[in-house]
Chains A and B, each alone.
Chain A
Amino acid sequence: MTVLLRIDDLAVSYGAVPAVDNVSLEIEAGELRVILGANGAGKTTIIKAILGLKRPRRGSIRFDGTHDLLALKPHEIHRLGIAWVPEGRQLWQTMTVLDNLRMGGFETRDQVAVQRRIQEMFDRFPRLRERQHQLAGSLSGGEQQMVAIARALISGPRLLLMDEPSLGLAPIVVRDVFRLTREINAMGIAILMVEQNARQALKVADAAYLLETGHVVDQGPAQEIAGRDSVKAVFLGGSA
């Protein structure tokens, strides 16, 4: 397998406050890896650094071996085949569902493929076809998450960055989202997911990183990580 994304010795600060430090991780083509950590551990910061939305203080991020992401602007990084499901969905509230999906393929050369993928998404999520002309802000949380995931898939990405896809959703919808994640991964799209819901995430992931106050404190295959006492104590909770 080839390494799709490699992060080495990443350090990012907000002003004088370090958010992540000395973080190294990688993901191979077609893999599903998860970064686990509590609120404020620096998970979203890593995602934003990959997307070019937050400039690191130190370190390197390489995509596909040859591309130095730190030298690229966000829209150029997107063109390499990296798409994003942001924390809290972050749909364009004043646009319709259909326009949100169209914007997902804004920079895609092959507009025929964009049209085809939009129809595929409607086949997969019939509720979205019914509501395609409604404003995205008027949908329920679960429906908005479907739009956010569909929007990210329209450009035909090779790597999908998912930031807390289960956050703020009803338990039954959370299960749908994780099942969907596994289906997307099965289509050959690599996924780097950031989650607080360790129990569910470890069930779908190939490998996991544990992030604590900006440092990777443990890493390994998902099954191994799930069995470790430190993980149970910190992320899974005694009774959860």
Chain B
Amino acid sequence: MDLLLQQICNGLVIGSTYAIVALGFALAFSVLRVVHFAHPDIFMVGMFAGLVAANAVPGMALVVALIGGAAGASALGYVAERTIIGPLRGRDMLTTLIGTLGLSIILQNGMALIVGPDPVPYPALLPSRFYDIGPVMLTLRQIADFVLSLFLLALVSGFVRLTRTGRATRAIADRPDVAAAFGVDVPRVCQKTIVFASGVAGIAAVSVGTLYGSASAFVGLMYGLKAFTCMLVAGNRYIEGVVAVAFGLGIIEALVTGYVSSSMKDAVAFLVLIGVLYVRPSGMFGSYAA
């Protein structure tokens, strides 16, 4: 019983990061109709931008790292949108997919050239502290990561539901031509969407680096695959659906790790994907048409 609760809590922490990366995929796909394979690598660059910022200002490392992660990732998101995603948007989906995949490879290997192919230690932005909450034991870093993720998820939800630009993103996702004909500057809203999603991912990345105490040029790969799975399983119509599936996947993985074997957890994620898509090809909660 204790193991069950412990693994559910661990799963929620993992799932919260999947959720944030998955929302970036979902926004890019629903608003721009682009499979944004470079998004997890923008997450990765945000992690290193936070690392650089933290080392530059050791006095208030945590705050500076979060700001650095957000700034680095959103700046890269802007450049990616201007150079690759924006110009290719509206073409064949395979064209944009190859474009973002190319960017992903460049970012991974470019970073590996700078920092090396192996994981590097991440600064300890939060003290190593443990808390016993009933039968469950959590670290301060886990709690901080989870709370920060919830805050970021609320931020994305608020952006989409409550802001003017967010309403425009929903209008574009549903009917891009009608949105344009009713005054929405579609290319500009697309740009804002990518920059916003990138910045959110950058903040989450700093937290994940702190949680695991390491950063790697290839950290985006695993998060990308899992987050992409979440988006496909949920469908991209409701961002809350994507978040729910991400938490679910985190919990399933943690349970498999706890009760079966950690080497099985990745296989389970993709079994879930295949199973759901077999029954509901457009995801559990529906998708905007491609």
Q: Give chain A's interface residues, CB within 8 Å of chain B.
A: 48, 51-53, 73-75, 77-79, 83-84, 86, 90, 92-95, 99, 102-104, 106-108, 151, 155
Sample (8) of A-B pairs whose CB atoms are under 8 Å apart: A51-B180, A53-B181, A74-B177, A75-B183, A75-B186, A78-B181, A95-B171, A106-B167
Q: Does any Cβ of A come within 8 Å of B276's Cβ?
A: no
A74 touches B175 (CB 8 A): no
Contact across chains for A90 and B184 when beta carbons are under 8 A apart:
no
Query: Residue on B with the closest CB to A50?
Result: B181
- CB of A86 within 8 A of CB of B178, answer yes
User: A94 and B237: CB pair below 8 A?
Assistant: yes
Chain A residues near B170 (CB-CB < 8 A): 92, 94-95
Instruction: Assess whether B233 is interfacial by the CB under 8 Å rule.
Output: no
Which residue of the partner chain A has the closest CB to B238? A94
B185: chain A residues within 8 A (beta carbon): 73, 75
Within 8 A of A (CB), among B133-164: 164
With A95-B171, A99-B167 already in contact, the answer to whether A90 and B183 are too (CB < 8 A) is no
**Is the Cβ of B180 less than 8 Å from the Cβ of A53?**
yes
User: Contact check: which of A74, A78, A93 meets B174 at CB < 8 Å?
Assistant: A93
Say yes or no: B167 contacts A103, CB within 8 Å. yes
Distance, CA A166 to CA B164, complexed state (A)? 32
Could you count the A-B residue pairs with CB atoms below 8 Å apart for me: how many are there?
69
Q: How far is the CB of B267 from chain A (nearest CB, A)?
A: 34
Known A103-B167, A103-B179, A107-B182; further 5 A-B contacts with Cβ < 8 A = A74-B181, A75-B180, A78-B180, A103-B171, A106-B171
A194 to chain B, nearest CB (A): 15
Complex Cα distance A91/B170, Å?
12
| Nearest opposing residue in chain B for A48, CB measure | B177
The chain B residue with its CB closest to the CB of A148 is B178
Residues of chain B within 8 A of A107, CB atoms compared: 182-184
Q: With CB as the reference atom, state the residue of chain B lying closest to A103.
A: B171
Cβ of B13 within 8 Å of any chain A Cβ, yes or no, is: no
Known A92-B170, A94-B170: A79·B183 in contact at CB below 8 Å = yes
Q: Mark B87-120, 1 if CB is under 8 A from A, else 0.
A: 0000000000000000000000000000000000
Residues of A within 8 A of B177 (CB): 48, 53, 74, 86, 90
CB contacts (< 8 Å) of B164 on chain A: these are 106
CB pair B178–A75 under 8 Å, yes or no, is no
Closest to B189 in A: A75
When chains A and B are docked, how far (Å) is the Cα of A211 from the Cα of B177? 24
B168 adjacent to chain A (CB < 8 Å):
yes
The reply to whether B182 and A90 form a contact with Cβ atoms under 8 Å apart is no
A90: chain B residues at CB < 8 Å are: 175, 177-178
Contact mask for chain B residues 221-243; partner A; CB cutoff 8 A; 1 contact, 0 none? 00000000000000001000000
User: Does the CB pair A106–B175 fall under 8 Å?
Assistant: no
Question: In the complex the two chains form, what is the Cα distance from A222 to B170 in whole Å?
Answer: 41
Q: What B residues does A151 contact at CB under 8 A? A: 182
B186: chain A residues at CB < 8 Å are 74-75
A155 to B181, CA, bound (A): 12
Q: Report the minimal beta-carbon distance from B86 to chain A, rounded to whole angstroms.
A: 14
A79 to B178, CA, bound (A): 14
Are A155 and B171 touching (Cβ within 8 A)?
no
Q: Please provide the 10 A-B residue pairs with the shortest distance between their CB atoms, ordered closest to farther.
A: A107-B183, A74-B180, A78-B183, A92-B174, A75-B185, A84-B181, A106-B183, A51-B181, A75-B183, A90-B178
Q: How far is the CB of A160 from chain B (nearest CB, A)?
A: 12
Hey, which chain A residues are within 8 Å of B171, CB to CB?
92, 95, 103, 106
Q: Closest approach, in angstroms, between the C-beta of A50 and any C-beta of chain B?
A: 10
Bound-state CA distance A99–B174 (Å) is: 13
Give every chain B residue within 8 A of A104 (Cβ-Cβ).
Answer: 182
Contacts of B175 on A, CB cut-off 8 Å?
90, 92
When distances are taken between beta carbons in the complex, the residues of chain B under 8 Å from A106 are: 164, 167-168, 171, 182-184
